Amino acid sequence: MYGLIVTINIKPGFKDQFMEALMEDARGSVNNEPGCLRFDVLEDSEEPNRIYLMEEYRDEAAFQAHTQQPHMTKWRDTVKDWFAAPTQVSRTSGIYPPGK
């Protein structure tokens, strides 16, 4: 399993548009990518313009395929100017439950 935990800070005034584009990418990832095992979108309870993504892929090759999907490239192009800070990405691998 190849995972990512992504922290995104959205510029004030752009959250609605950002989230609309992100939901399209999330749905495309889950519905159209056999290698995408999970794509969770979470909102920070104290900072509503901070979003976390928890993504899991079968392996790094599945993640690399994800980065080339039309829904991903559309999202990246759409939201590129709406980030309040650089995105933080932590790469992960599964420990528990076993087999992940």
Tell whether 100 is covered by a domain.
Answer: no
Tell whether 17 is covered by a domain.
Answer: yes
Distance CA 66, CA 96 (A): 24
Q: What is the pLDDT of residue 42?
A: 98
Distance CA 87, CA 10 (A): 10
Give pLDDT tens digits for 17-58. 999 999 999 999 999 999 999 999 999 999 999 999 999 999
What average pLDDT does the segment 78-99 reach?
92
Q: What is the pLDDT of residue 98?
A: 78
Structural domain containing residue 52: 2-92
Tell whether 99 is covered by a domain.
Answer: no
Q: How many domains does the chain have?
A: 1
**CATH value at residue 44:** 3.30.70.100
Cβ atoms of 52 and 42 closer than 8 Å: yes
